[in-house]
Every structure is written in structure tokens, then in C-alpha cells.
């Protein structure tokens, strides 16, 4: 029968399943078991906005033997490199001790959309290794701001023109006015005007509409 020191070394540095079973045979100890909490992480941000707040997850051990582990991040289709884990390697003592690890997201250079990654926790000393933690990042489109001041009153018979239809936006796009330029309005105390901005970059920006 191996010594207790041999059991600890095997559980931390890694060993095959058959070696793990041999190491604990006759001791009554159960091998380490990886428990991840929570079971997934979800991040939400807005295009061209701030990074989402970092989140933490814990690596626990429900077994009776300590183990060492590594975190490795992989990505689904689309962008990569947006997720980082602050603890790459760690050790968890027996009996449900926890190591808290922060997951940090950077949306720099990412378009609006949904992105997927997986953090895989691997340990040669845990019976259920590897375990995976799915991570989802959703970047929402942004609605552009339109600037448009109330135009001055016009005389009946005057066609609408760029004098009245002069909305602007920092986001490039097509501006559609209702009523359109050239229309002569019916006599009224006030007449509502509307503009719709259709951004050229419709992957990252929503349609925007205002009335005056």
C-alpha cells in the first residue's frame, strides 16, 4: 500500500485513473471530485460600450483527496480572445475547499452578436476530470442618437426642404423624412415631422426614429 505522501503527490501532480485507484486502495479515501459553481456564466454588453462586470466561479472538491487543476479557455465560431481567467492553475484541498476565480471579458473589437467560450477545468487527481464551464457573451446593438431641432414656422405653400429637414447623427446612415422634402403641408397650427435613420452598419446599430 502506498504511503499517504504518495497519495497526495499523485493527486496534485496527476496520475492515471488506474494509478489513482491504486493510490487510495485500502485507505477508505475517495479521489478528488471537481465541482464548479455556478454551472455557466453569462455576460451582456452594448456595442461600443463598457466591458461587462467580471464574474467569479469556484472550483470545489467534494472528494477526500486534494488535487491540482488547470483552466483552459476555448472558443466557439467567431471571435476569440475576449475571455480571460485570472487563475490559470490552482490547488484545492479535500472536503469541499473552494478556490474563487474571476472571469474577465473584453469587448474591444467585437461586433454586436452572441459569442461562446468554454473554460475547461482539468485535473489528473480528480475522478471526474475534465469539467467544463460554458460562457456566453451577448453584445446588444446600440440605437443611434439623432439631433433635430424644431424648425421655424413656414408660410402655406412653402415646400419642405433642407431648411426644415436637417437632422444629424454621429452614426453614418440614410435619413428618411416623413413628410419628404418637396411636400407642401396643409394649413395647420402644427404639423408633426418624422425622421428615420437607417445606419449603414446594421450589424451593430438599430434603426432610430424621432418626431418633432
Task: Identify whether residues 62 and 151 lie together within a single domain.
Answer: no
Q: Which of 112, 106, 111, 67 is nearest to 90 (CA)?
A: 67
Mean pLDDT in runs of 10 for the chain (212 residues)?
39 45 57 95 97 96 94 94 94 86 96 97 96 98 96 88 95 96 84 94 96 90
**DSSP-assigned letter for residue 101:** E
Task: Identify whether residues 112 and 17 lie together within a single domain.
Answer: yes
Task: Identify whether residues 86 and 15 lie together within a single domain.
Answer: yes
The residue to which cell 469587448 is assigned: 107
Per the structure, how many domains does the chain have? 2
Task: Identify whether residues 184 and 210 lie together within a single domain.
Answer: yes
Last residue within a domain, chosen from 109, 140, 171:
140
| pTM (predicted TM-score) | 0.80
pLDDT of residue 95: 83
Q: Residue 129 sits in which domain range?
A: 4-140
Question: Which whole-number Å values give the CA distances from 102 to 36, 45, 78, 87, 98, in the listed order?
Answer: 13, 17, 23, 7, 13
Amino acid at each position: 500500500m502506498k504511503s499517504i505522501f504518495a497519495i497526495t503527490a499523485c493527486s496534485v501532480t496527476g496520475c492515471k485513473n488506474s494509478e489513482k485507484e491504486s493510490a487510495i486502495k485500502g485507505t477508505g479515501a475517495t479521489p478528488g471530485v471537481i465541482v464548479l459553481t455556478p454551472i455557466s456564466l453569462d455576460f451582456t454588453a452594448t456595442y461600443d460600450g463598457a466591458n461587462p462586470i467580471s464574474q467569479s466561479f469556484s472550483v470545489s472538491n467534494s472528494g477526500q483527496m486534494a488535487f491540482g487543476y488547470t483552466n483552459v479557455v476555448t472558443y466557439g465560431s467567431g471571435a476569440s480572445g475576449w475571455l480571460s481567467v485570472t487563475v490559470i492553475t490552482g490547488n484545492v484541498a479535500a472536503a469541499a475547499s473552494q478556490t474563487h476565480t474571476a472571469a474577465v471579458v473584453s469587448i474591444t473589437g467585437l461586433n454586436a452578436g452572441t459569442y461562446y467560450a468554454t473554460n475547461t477545468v482539468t485535473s489528473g487527481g480528480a475522478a471526474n476530470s475534465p469539467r467544463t464551464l460554458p460562457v456566453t457573451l451577448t453584445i446588444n446593438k446600440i440605437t443611434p442618437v439623432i439631433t433635430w431641432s424644431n424648425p421655424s414656422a413656414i408660410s402655406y405653400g412653402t415646400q419642405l426642404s433642407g431648411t426644415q429637414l436637417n437632422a444629424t447623427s454621429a452614426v453614418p446612415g440614410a435619413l428618411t423624412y416623413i413628410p419628404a422634402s418637396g411636400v407642401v403641408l396643409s394649413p395647420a397650427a402644427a404639423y408633426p415631422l418624422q425622421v428615420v435613420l437607417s445606419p449603414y452598419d446594421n450589424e451593430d446599430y438599430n434603426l432610430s426614429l424621432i418626431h418633432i
